[in-house]
Amino acid sequence: LVIIIACFNLAGTIIILILDKKKEIQTMYSFGLSRKNIRNIFFQTGFIITLIAMTTGLLIASVIGLLQIDFGLVMASPTVPFPFIFSVENFVAVIVTVLGLGSLVSWIVSRQVK
């Protein structure tokens, strides 16, 4: 659910960028940039936004996970802290999923440049 909401936010952000930069897009087109190159600029912008958001999210989640392991912030019962285990597979799954969906959304929305 969170990833779906994030994808809609990313799509909205890129669409707003495209609408906001209409004059700049026309200028770039006048200078000889092809439509493909202009679309690639917006795709790369979406990918960079995805990359920064993913990195920030993983760092925050890691810090919270370490705090849970060390201090037991969330308790499963009054005496037992909720278990938390770092797993490389989970990190890889998150990275692949977020970059894949972020790239797909960025690519689809960047095609809206006319």
Reduced 3-state DSSP string for 15-35: HHHHHHCHHHHHHHHHCCCCH
* pLDDT tens track for 3-58: 889 999 999 999 999 999 999 999 999 999 999 999 999 999 999 999 999 999 99
- Could you tell me which residue, 48 or 80, shows the higher pLDDT? 48
Nearest to 46 by CA among 106, 110, 114, 112: 106
Number of domains in the chain: 1
Supply the range of the domain harboring residue 78: 2-110
Alpha-carbon span 5 to 9, nearest angstrom: 6
Q: What percent of the chain stands above pLDDT 90?
A: 82
What pTM was estimated for this model as a whole? 0.87
